A and B are shown apart, each in its own frame.
Chain A
């Protein structure tokens, strides 16, 4: 069964600094990978996804993620964080045979002024 691990529960970065959120997955075949962001009291907004092809994926709001099969990772990056990026970030994996995604526990991002 697929699973996702987000090792960092909470990360604090200064505004303007770079950001990397870690995600490791477990899945027997080619995974379908997603990053979502959730602001307090809100639903989840899709940042980016990886289905196949180029392993470096560009998303919205200046985010990107790189799929590394050898490391079973799909880390999310942003070169310069803005205060509005403060939120909770979820990595998710889905398998081809079903539409039930497995989510990581989430990483809460705090941005210092």
Chain B
């Protein structure tokens, strides 16, 4: 099976712009979670989508949003970018049938905000 794929792998944006990141889960996986990884804060949970509904949400401002499509692919959007949004954004997929499940991570999208 193909693993979790994320596009694009690298992005450079300027402050105030918005950005959309994409994640394609492993075939058959219905849950997609997003994480932000920075040197200072480490890995932090953003949100989880299951069957096109946001099931869990971390402690991030409303500028961070996401959605999931009927084929389980997910997108994450960040509006009004700030310098502090520079990070590696990781997507993870799981079967989703259980409330806690083994998550498989993609390679990440490296976002740089100038």
Q: Which of A34, A46, A90, A99 has the most CB of B within 10 A?
A: A99
Of the candidates A36, A43, A99, A102, the one whose C-beta lies within 8 Å of that of B101 is A99
When C-beta atoms are compared, the residue in chain A nearest to B6 turns out to be A43
Chain A interface residue number, banded: 20 to 34
Contact with B along A40-55 (1 / 0, CB 8 A): 0111111001000000
Separation in Å of the A61 CB from the closest CB of chain B? 16
Q: Does A84 contact B (CB under 8 A)?
A: no
Main secondary structure of the interface of B (DSSP, over half): strand
> In whole angstroms, how far apart are the Cα atoms of A105 and B103 in the complex?
18
**When A43-B4, A43-B90, A90-B43 are in contact, do A99 and B107 touch as well, CB less than 8 Å?**
no
Complex Cα gap A104–B103 (Å): 16
- Is B75 interfacial (CB-CB < 8 Å)? no
Chain B positions within 8 Å of A97 at CB level: 99-100
Cβ-defined contact, B105 with A98, below 8 A: no
Tell me if B102 and A100 are in contact (CB < 8 A). Answer: no
Interface residue ranges, B against A (CB under 8 Å): 4, 6, 31, 33, 35, 42-43, 45, 48, 50, 55-56, 58, 90, 92, 94, 96, 99-108, 110
Q: Which 8 pairs, one residue from A and one from B, show the smallest C-beta to C-beta distance?
A: A103-B43, A43-B105, A100-B45, A44-B105, A43-B107, A94-B100, A100-B56, A32-B100
| Complex A-B: 5 CB contacts under 8 Å | A32-B100, A42-B108, A97-B99, A98-B99, A104-B42
